[in-house]
Amino acid sequence: MKKDLFHKTFIEIKHSKHMDLSLFDFRRLITPSITVEPADVQLDQEWSDFEKTLTEFKMKYFKAKCDLSKIIVAISRNKDELGVIKYAINNVHREDTVDLLKSVYEKTSNSTDMENLYDQASKLAGTCKAMKKILADTNTENFNKFTCSICTENLVDIFIDPCGHVFCEGCLSKTTNKTHCPVCRTQMNALKRIFTV
């Protein structure tokens, strides 16, 4: 619909005898420069409930991050202690003390507590990563950046060089002109695939 309106307006302007096309900015047809003052609107209760739930999830995320930091600190301290013991082993000359230090080093480095800490840290790091992704997806501004501007449904996976516009592969394959960007009509040098992490 937007595309049809664009073409209709373009043809009307093209046939107008009083219009200098070199001064006309066609991008304004796609992105209007009018600003609208937002009215004061009361949202439904479900939005308040959503905000409350989102806040709870953010708190869970920050708690998981704090727990992960504590475990990392504990692992780091243990590594430091092992470093001190190793230094002592290399610099002590009494054999009975060296043997004692070696047994302490073996016991500390092979401790099941340390293995459990590493496992906990790994699981918490994975949980934090998954939580962070979900929380990032709730940011509608970021979501719009990664949504196809043609269908506004699919996530983008194609980047147009040099203009930088992004689309989903399905929409781009349906365009009739394969040599120019469907938004700004810039000639395409290359199509590059976007890989999301």
Q: Tell whether 115 is covered by a domain.
A: yes
Same domain, 100 and 157: no
**Each residue's pLDDT expressed in tens, for the chain with a length of 197 residues:** 555 555 555 556 555 555 554 545 555 555 556 778 888 888 889 988 888 888 888 889 889 988 998 999 888 888 888 888 888 888 888 888 888 888 888 888 877 788 888 899 999 999 998 888 887 767 655 555 667 767 766 777 777 778 777 888 888 788 888 888 887 778 888 878 776 54
Range of the structural domain that residue 146 is part of: 140-197
Q: Tell whether 93 is covered by a domain.
A: yes
3-state SS assignment for residue 56: helix
Distance CA 107, CA 82 (A): 10
Same domain, 65 and 132: yes
23 membership: H or E segment, kind and range:
none
